[in-house]
């Protein structure tokens, strides 16, 4: 797949993206977040709307407030509640008094948006489009820019620099396929994603992402037809990742594919516990930098999932 790259953007400043839209790139670069999370600032009649406050980082909050300057931040809108998008929300909301909007059913148990959004709802010219898959509470937003046309704030559902991780149970491959197909039928001319530069000709990328997943699914199916695999074995067989995070991400994607195939009655889990979700589970862009920075409970979940074994129902 062809992905876009960009130089490390200047930190602490708002970068012009399109007329009335600026971007402040958070200082959280990594193999999972590229140059950092994009926080978008939209000009409006009564002040600014912020899309995705970014990670819990005081410096980033200060960067966003400096970019706003004397113009009040009226609203904060979330594409989803993974911590690299949500983390700065409490601080930014407290400092600005802005109204907070997000999908009506938050994936985080410790958060409910003040103004819940459903598919089709509108706020400040943004029209919500429910696009679960990468995250269970993921919204994209249609927006009109004079001189450009219809664009989409696509969050982490579709990004210019990389494909998305789909990590169960918050991530769901069946939903992800469906949300990609949803975008194929639409006509936005540009996407502004949660990480990376703007994406021109977005439908070409959406089609490529979908084809890429179908190819991956076909290789998984081919492999399970020959023998049984655990998630970890199959991920190692199909991907050749050395970096801990990329290796874990590959395992999460393979698990998501296998659960989709199980949902379709094509494979079945041979052994392993049911996919229960702990009460205090906070869904997130798994995984962090190394095993040491993950909670003991969460590393247990990763290990348990890696050992799930799937068989072909031929």
Footprint on this chain of Zn ion (rule: CB under 5 A):
84, 156, 194
Residue 71, C-beta contacts closer than 8 angstroms, at least 6 positions apart: 43, 47, 48
Q: How far is the CB of 52 from Zn ion (least distance, A)?
A: 8
Q: How far is the CB of 219 from Zn ion (least distance, A)?
A: 26
Q: How far is the CB of 268 from Zn ion (least distance, A)?
A: 32
* DSSP H or E run through 129: strand 126-130
**Which residue in 15, 82, 85 sits closest to 57, CA to CA?**
85
Q: Which is nearer to Zn ion, 84 or 298 (CB)?
A: 84
Q: Which is nearer to Zn ion, 33 or 230 (CB)?
A: 33
Q: Which is nearer to Zn ion, 28 or 251 (CB)?
A: 28
Q: Which is nearer to Zn ion, 85 or 260 (CB)?
A: 85
Q: How far is the CB of 54 from Zn ion (least distance, A)?
A: 9
Q: Which is nearer to Zn ion, 154 or 230 (CB)?
A: 154
Structure tokens at 129: 């489009």
Residue corresponding to tokens 């379709």: 264
Q: How far is the CB of 224 from Zn ion (least distance, A)?
A: 30
Q: Which is nearer to Zn ion, 156 or 170 (CB)?
A: 156
Give, as one character, the DSSP assignment of residue 137. Answer: T
Q: What share of the chain is helix, strand, coil (3-state, %, to 5)?
A: 30, 25, 45
Give, as one character, the DSSP assignment of residue 292. Answer: G
Q: How far is the CB of 216 from Zn ion (least distance, A)?
A: 21
Structure tokens at 185: 């039928």
Structure tokens at 174: 């069946």
Q: Strand runs (DSSP E) across 166-253, as ranges?
A: 190-193, 199-200, 229-230
């Amino acid at each position: 797949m062809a992905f876009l790259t960009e130089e490390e953007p200047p930190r602490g400043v708002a970068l012009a993206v399109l007329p009335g839209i600026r971007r402040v790139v958070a200082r959280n670069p990594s193999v999972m977040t590229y140059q950092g999370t994009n926080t978008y600032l939209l000009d409006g009649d009564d002040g600014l709307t912020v899309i995705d406050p970014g990670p819990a980082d005081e410096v980033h909050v200060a960067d966003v407030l400096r970019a706003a300057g004397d113009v009040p931040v009226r609203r904060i809108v979330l594409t989803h509640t993974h911590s690299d998008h949500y983390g700065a929300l409490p601080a930014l909301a407290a400092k600005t008094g802005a109204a907070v909007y997000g999908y009506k059913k938050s994936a985080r148990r410790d958060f409910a948006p003040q103004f819940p959004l459903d598919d089709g709802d509108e706020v400040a010219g943004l029209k919500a489009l429910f696009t679960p898959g990468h995250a269970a509470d993921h919204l994209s937003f249609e927006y009109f820019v004079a001189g450009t046309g219809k664009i989409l704030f696509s969050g982490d559902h579709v990004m210019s620099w990389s494909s998305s991780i789909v990590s169960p149970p918050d991530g769901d491959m069946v939903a992800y396929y469906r949300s990609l197909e949803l975008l194929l039928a639409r006509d936005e001319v540009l996407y502004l994603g949660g990480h990376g530069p703007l994406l021109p000709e977005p439908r070409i990328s959406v089609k490529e992402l979908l084809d890429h997943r179908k190819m991956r699914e076909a290789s998984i199916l081919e492999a399970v037809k020959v023998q049984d695999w655990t998630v970890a074995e199959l991920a190692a067989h199909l991907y050749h990742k050395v970096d801990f995070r990329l290796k874990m991400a590959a395992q999460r994607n393979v698990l998501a594919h296998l659960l989709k195939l199980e949902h379709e009655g094509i494979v079945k889990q041979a052994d392993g516990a049911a996919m229960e979700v702990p009460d205090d589970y906070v869904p997130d862009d798994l995984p962090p930098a190394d095993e040491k920075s993950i909670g003991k409970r969460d590393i247990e979940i990763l290990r348990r999932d890696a050992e799930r074994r799937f068989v072909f129902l031929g």
